[in-house]
Amino acid sequence: MILAAVWVIMLLMSDLRMVNAQLRQVVADKDELLVAQQTLIATQRKRLKTQDALIEGQVRQLASQDELVRLQDEQIATRAELIRRLDDEMAELRHRPCTISPPILAAPPAHAG
């Protein structure tokens, strides 16, 4: 009976050691997982910072393009006004009577000879 009790105690001790080893492995695996997650988070933060910088650059580029479009719009409006004025002047010239007399052509010089 004592031998059986000792055997049961040894069996329990063996099981406890095995459970303890498994728990240590679980903790070690969990620590590895945490390190991997922290590395992933750090990588994602770097990626997000890079994306933020890219977005800021795109915002600046869009602002520059917006300014270019605004200037081109002003240029188009200026040209349109110039064309309108030229059209008005042409219409006015068409309705004016011609006051310019044709040039008088001089007789060609006689050949000496």
The string over 34-43, giving b where at least 16 C-beta atoms fall within 10 Å of a residue's C-beta and e elsewhere, is eeeeeeeeee
In whole angstroms, what is the distance from residue 32 CA to residue 26 CA?
10
Length of the chain counted residue by residue? 113
Cα-based angle 101, 107, 113 (whole degrees, multiple of 5): 170
pTM of the complete model: 0.51
In whole angstroms, what is the distance from residue 30 CA to residue 27 CA?
5
For 36, 82, 92, 93, 101, the CA distances from 98, given in Å and listed in that order, are 92, 25, 12, 9, 8
pLDDT at 106: 65
Q: Is the pLDDT of residue 42 over 70?
A: yes
- Name every residue whose Cβ is closer than 8 Å to that of residue 20 and which is 6 or more positions away in sequence: none
Confidence of residue 11 (pLDDT cuts 50, 70, 90): confident
Per the model's pLDDT, the better-predicted residue between 112 and 12 turns out to be 12
